Amino acid sequence: MRFSSISFSAAVLLLLSVACSEPAKEKRAAIDNLIPKPSSVKADTGSFQLAANTTLNIDTANLELKKLAGYFNTLIKPATGFELAVKPAANDSTGIDLIIDTTIKKSPEAYTLSINGKKVTIKAGGGAGVFYGIQTIRQLLPDAIEATTKSEANWAIPAATIEDEPSYEYRGSMLDIARHFFGPKDIKRYIDLISFYKMNTLHLHLSDDQGWRIEIKSWPKLTEIGSTTQVGGGKGGFLSQEEYKDLVQYAADRYITIIPEIDMPGHTNAALASYSELNCNDTATKLYSGIEVGFSTLCTNKEVTYKFLDDVIRELAALTPGKYLHIGGDESHATKKEDYIPFMEKVQLLVKKHGKLAIGWDEVANSKLEPNTVAQYWADSANSVMAISKGAKLIMSPARKAYLDMQYDSTSKLGLHWAGYIEVDTAYTWDPANLEPGIKRENIWGVEAPLWTETIVTMDDIEYMVFPRLPGYAEIAWTPTASRSWDEYKVRLGYHGPRMKAMQIDYYPSKKIDWK
């Protein structure tokens, strides 16, 4: 009997211990597991209870705040069933205050989030900051907030004060829809996923050897012919101009700028197959569905080539409210260097003519760079240092660290490994400002994680290759290096497993992470 009593007492103590630890676990998951890691988090006691009678308090004359309030309701309604009333803000109001204060002298992406038992306040100098504060509230709510059907969860937001702002201005990902075509529905989901982790740029790779993916009305064969295949010989596809404009607006509503890329003078077989006159021999090439690179080039000595590019850039610039157009310039092995250099210089001037600024892959540094041209480091640090010497800022996308199409390891069924294997820790443990000699913090505009789609066919494929690496890239771009640690980050990422499941993300369950 004595043994049984001791066993029973031990069992009771164990149950009590587990029960007592549950609030701490909830607090750990809610407060301490935000990604990207905020600048400052001060946890407090208590929580704010989100309920059907909670109000969203705004300056109702501010159309941007009205749109943000609508976005907040769109986020929470499926899981909670709540449609929160939007009311004029008042000093004595309770509920959730969304405030844009233009006198704040920080980045418009910075925000302060204050939470107590009576009120939640997001305050920022611009709408982007309010939007990012909303993303933080999402992460503070239970994972079930991401459900598409109503849940009976306890919608408590733990009390805290959070001060936050991004480290880098440019924080993005690239989606290649040329090797395999992905339409508006998939692109919108990708926008939603990257915006959740406070990324602000989507680079769309719209043309390559395997397909031309954007309607150009003055050159209709680009889509009549050039869009009709993809890697492996599928039917391909393209975005109409109306679809593209809708995507631009959808992204803008989530404070994401779309930067379109037309790669040139190489990676152009789809265009060369569409129009014979773009070839030096006046003969259209055959459509291509393989994955080799470097074999194609526009005829850089023909006037019609520049007429073609002028029209493409003109139409694309008119559709794109952002400042930048990406002109590619990589792996143009079939173009002689003496032809490549004047070509890239002329194209930069065409971009400027149509009111935009140019971005090019790091090879663009071999040409004269126009003021404000940006170079994107992917392979050659010498090119990137040369770009800096010519006054350019850099986007950091080192293939060996940041390419989302690289396999996790040798057992990965998707992806390639020409730049190496990139497990979750390899993706996270690098600092853009200390990666290469000659590239300093002041030279860097930001960070981008590209996804090339040679082996990527479905949205599930995209999600499997992108997650769980993308949250780490988002944190590298948002959180100062001194505040980041792999040992600490991997714990936070582990708590995002249930969140990603709730968001129906088909993520790779890396063994490097203790998933919760």
Which amino acids are annotated catalytic?
331
The strand pair at 55-58 and 95-100 is best described as: parallel
Q: Is the dihedral of CA 34, 37, 38, 44 positive or negative?
A: positive
Nearest to 427 by CA among 456, 398, 454: 398
Angstrom distance (rounded) from CA 145 to CA 376: 37
Contact 68, 92 (CB under 8 A): no
Burial class (CB in 10 A: 0-12, 13-18, 19+), 390: middle
Q: Reduce the secondary structure of 34-80 to three states and give it as a string.
A: CCCCCCEEEEEEEEEECCCCCEEEECCCCHHHHHHHHHHHHHHHHHH
CA 416 to chain CA centroid, nearest Å = 21
How far apart, in Å, do the first and last CA atoms of the chain sit? 39
| H or E element in which residue 444 lies | strand 444-451
Nearest to 174 by CA among 155, 149, 201: 201
